């Protein structure tokens, strides 16, 4: 059996790194936009009520907020 050394990883795929990347790249812009346009509430910033909920209940509750 032959092993091939692929070298050092070029991308950190850890949960901590990806969470920080998401916060810096996407969440920060969304929060700033909501605050600037005065379109925020605790529900639009943090969807804690979705934890443990199923898709049908979530869809009924939030589909009107989606701009599609």
pLDDT tens per residue, range 26-49: 888 888 887 888 877 666 666 777
Q: Of 10, 33, 11, 9, nearest to 21 (Cα)? A: 11
pLDDT of 68 higher than 60: no
Question: Which stretches of 1-68 are assigned E, i.e. beta strand?
Answer: none
CA–CA gap between residue 40 and residue 53 (Å, rounded)? 22
pLDDT (0 to 100) of residue 39:
75
pLDDT above 70: percentage of residues in the chain: 84
pLDDT (0 to 100) of residue 49:
74
pLDDT (0 to 100) of residue 46:
67
Q: Which two tokens stand for residue 11?
A: 């991308």
- Across the chain, mean pLDDT equals 80
């Amino acid at each position: 059996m032959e092993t091939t050394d692929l070298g050092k990883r070029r991308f950190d795929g850890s949960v901590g790194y990806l969470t920080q990347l998401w916060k810096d790249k996407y969440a920060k812009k969304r929060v700033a936009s909501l605050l600037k346009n005065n379109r925020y509430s605790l529900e639009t910033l943090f969807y804690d009520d979705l934890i443990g909920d199923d898709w049908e209940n979530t869809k009924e509750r939030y589909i009107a907020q989606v701009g599609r």
